[in-house]
């Protein structure tokens, strides 16, 4: 996976599976991951590395995959509508509904037994920014083949909000999977997952008690439309045509300028408007032990034109902490869009599954505030660009408004 002679103290405990933070640092040190400016320690998460935007963005007419017969930049120039400087003093504007191809600062020189899987960062998903990784001559989004050597690119399309970005920002992250077993990318299933849940509680109920009711082929996740109190906000719906959001402004924007808050419905259900983008929370709290990482997937294709959770990767330590017993689970925030028709969503409807994957070794850092993680012990949390709300005041105001217009 990397030069074992140089890093015997790291390699000794590394097996097959998702590579932990210490292995990623070794990959950076040996040049298997490199960049200009250099990769910083702050980019390295427990089981992934943040990928930074490069110096310019290409506005193109359509999404595409380059395939084996052409380079990516050749295809970009065939579809090019314009070039945007990401190094200017004023952050560059990315317009909603427009596709941009952005070369990334990081480049790879992977060993023959290591491959990569990418996904948007949590903040990216909560802002409805659709982001996918592309490699040279690649025929799959968000996949880096074993032994890949070359540059990386991001396809970026903001679906709802105009956003402003600059070079060096991270919209997506990459995890590395080491090993040659045919099932190395498969999640752990049924009996093995249940056995793990006995050793390490994976799901907690509203009272904070471990439960195995949702454990089977993954963890079954349902939507919470009740909240803990009658006045709770249970969802947010993105407003149309808001002002642009600068992604490096943290805790800056007023929630009401960008989101409609939806209080607990008396009927126990809400109707998702066609094309609307919503944030909701899971009913149960979930935990990802340090020996594993997790990924959220749609419950099943028969759910129809309904997408949940664009940013589906959960690092080791999410809802868990640095050691067993630190945190009794954390709610998952669900990013939901109804496409072709309005959809009725009822409390406790199943909307997704959480699949667990083995780590190649326990990472030397865990997801949480100590490494700058923004969403540990979250409830229904908006992205970090928005001011933290006074939950009780906002809930009461929203409920009063709903009653007045009923």
User: Of 272, 92, 113, 127, whose CA–CA distance to 180 is shortest?
Assistant: 113
How confident is the model over 182-199, as a mean pLDDT?
90
Question: What are the sequence ranges of the domains in the chain?
Answer: 8-178, 190-405
CATH class for the region spanning 8-178: mainly beta
Pairwise CA distance, residues 314 & 282, whole Å:
14
Here the tokens at position 400 are 């009063």
Buried b / exposed e across 8-18, counting CB within 10 Å, b at 16+?
A: eebbeebebbb
User: Of 118, 127, 100, 112, whose CA–CA distance to 236 is shortest?
Assistant: 127
pLDDT-derived band at 406, boundaries 50, 70, 90: very low
pLDDT digits (tens, 9 = 90+) for 385-403: 999 865 444 444 444 444 3
| Bond from prior residue into 37 cis (ω within 30 degrees of 0) | yes
pLDDT digits (tens, 9 = 90+) for 3-37: 555 555 555 568 899 999 999 999 999 999 999 99
pLDDT digits (tens, 9 = 90+) for 220-260: 889 999 987 767 899 999 998 789 999 999 999 999 999 99
3-class secondary-structure state, position 277: strand
Report the share of the chain in percent with pLDDT over 90. 64
pLDDT digits (tens, 9 = 90+) for 111-146: 999 999 999 998 999 999 999 999 998 888 999 999
The CATH fold assigned to 190-405 is: Deoxyuridine 5'-Triphosphate Nucleotidohydrolase; Chain A (2.70.40)
User: Of 46, 44, 10, 23, whose CA–CA distance to 289 is shortest?
Assistant: 46
Averaged pLDDT score across all residues of the chain: 87
SS (H, E, C) 336-401: EEECCCCEEEECCCEEEEEEEEEECCCCCCCCCHHHCCCCCCCCCCCCCCECCCCHHHHHHHHHHH
Model pTM score:
0.89
pLDDT-derived band at 351, boundaries 50, 70, 90: confident
Range scoring the smallest mean pLDDT among 86-90, 137-141, 200-204, 236-240: 137-141
Residue 397 confidence (pLDDT)? 46
Whether 190-405 and 8-178 are alike in CATH topology: the answer is yes
């Amino acid at each position: 996976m990397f030069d074992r002679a140089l890093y015997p103290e790291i390699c000794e405990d590394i097996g097959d599976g998702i590579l932990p933070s210490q292995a990623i640092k070794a990959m950076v040190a040996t040049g298997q991951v490199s960049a200009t400016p250099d990769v910083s320690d702050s980019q390295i998460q427990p089981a992934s590395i943040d990928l930074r935007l490069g110096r310019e963005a290409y506005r193109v007419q359509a999404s595409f995959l380059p395939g084996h017969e052409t380079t990516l930049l050749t295809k970009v120039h065939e579809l090019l509508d314009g070039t945007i400087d990401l190094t200017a003093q004023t952050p560059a504007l990315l317009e909603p509904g427009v596709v941009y191809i952005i070369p990334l600062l990081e480049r790879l020189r992977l060993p023959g037994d290591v491959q990569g899987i990418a996904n948007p960062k949590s903040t990216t998903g909560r802002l409805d920014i659709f982001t996918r990784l592309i490699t040279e001559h690649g025929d799959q989004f968000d996949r880096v083949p074993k032994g890949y050597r070359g540059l990386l690119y991001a396809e970026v399309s903001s679906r709802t909000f105009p956003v402003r970005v600059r070079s060096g920002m991270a919209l997506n992250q990459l995890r590395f999977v080491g090993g040659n077993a045919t099932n190395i990318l498969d999640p752990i299933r049924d009996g093995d997952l249940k056995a793990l849940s006995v050793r390490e509680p994976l799901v907690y109920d509203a009272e904070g008690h471990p439960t195995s009711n949702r454990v089977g082929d993954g963890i079954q996740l349902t939507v919470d439309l009740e909240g803990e109190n009658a006045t709770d906000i249970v969802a947010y719906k993105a407003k149309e045509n808001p002002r642009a959001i600068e992604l490096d402004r943290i805790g800056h924007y007023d929630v009401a300028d960008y989101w409609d808050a939806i209080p607990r419905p008396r009927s126990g259900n809400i109707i998702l408007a066609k094309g609307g983008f919503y944030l909701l929370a899971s009913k149960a709290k979930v935990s990802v032990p340090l020996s594993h990482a997790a990924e959220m997937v749609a419950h099943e294709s028969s759910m129809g034109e309904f997408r949940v959770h664009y940013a589906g990767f959960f690092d080791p330590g999410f809802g868990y902490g640095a050691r067993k017993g630190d945190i009794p689970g954390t709610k998952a925030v669900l990013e939901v869009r109804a496409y072709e028709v309005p959809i009725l969503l009822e409390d406790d409807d199943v909307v997704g599954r959480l699949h667990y994957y083995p780590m190649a070794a326990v990472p030397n850092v865990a997801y949480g505030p100590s490494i700058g993680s923004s969403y540990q012990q979250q409830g229904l949390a908006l992205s970090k660009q928005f001011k933290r709300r006074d939950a009780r005041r906002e809930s009461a105001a929203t409920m009063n408004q709903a009653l007045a217009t009923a």
